[in-house]
Amino acid sequence: GDIVLLAKPVTLTEGDRVTLTTDVPVATDGTSKPEKLLYAVSLPPVHGQIEHINYPGVPISSYSQLDVVAQKVSDVHDNSHGAGRSHSG
């Protein structure tokens, strides 16, 4: 079936952390098992990372809808991806 993704933008400042909830990303594919949907992080945050709350400090590249429902995924703004890139202009 068709996949529908509803997402709201989240703005963070350095040091902030937001736990992703179904108020931010929620998806359905028309089946009775939306919790089995997987999100892939194709474009990581520029100034931070997406991480699982059980493994703070470790960036993840995918997570499930069930992780979002259980509030186990955070977007952390820590400027880590911007560090040491002064010559990347």
Read off the pLDDT of residues 17-72 as tens digits, 9 standing for 90 and up: 777 776 666 666 666 676 677 888 888 888 888 999 999 989 999 988 889 888 89
Q: Is residue 7 part of a domain?
A: no
Task: Supply the range of the domain harboring residue 61.
Answer: 34-77
- Let me know if residue 41 belongs to a domain: yes
Q: Give a yes or no: residue 70 inside a domain.
A: yes
Instruction: Please enumerate in sequence order all residues whose Cβ is within 8 A of that of 44, keeping only pairs 6 or more positions apart, or say none.
Output: 50, 59, 81
Give a yes or no: residue 10 inside a domain.
Answer: no
> What does the DSSP assignment read for 65-83?
HHHHHTT-EEEEE-STTTT
Number of domains in the chain: 1
**Exposed/middle/buried for residue 51 (C-beta within 10 Å: 0-12, 13-18, 19+):** buried
- pLDDT higher than threshold 80 for residue 76: yes
Helix/strand/coil percentages in the chain, nearest 5: 10, 30, 60
Residue 82 has pLDDT above 60, yes or no: no
Give the per-residue pLDDT at 85.
41
Looking up tokens 């703070």, which residue turns up? 56
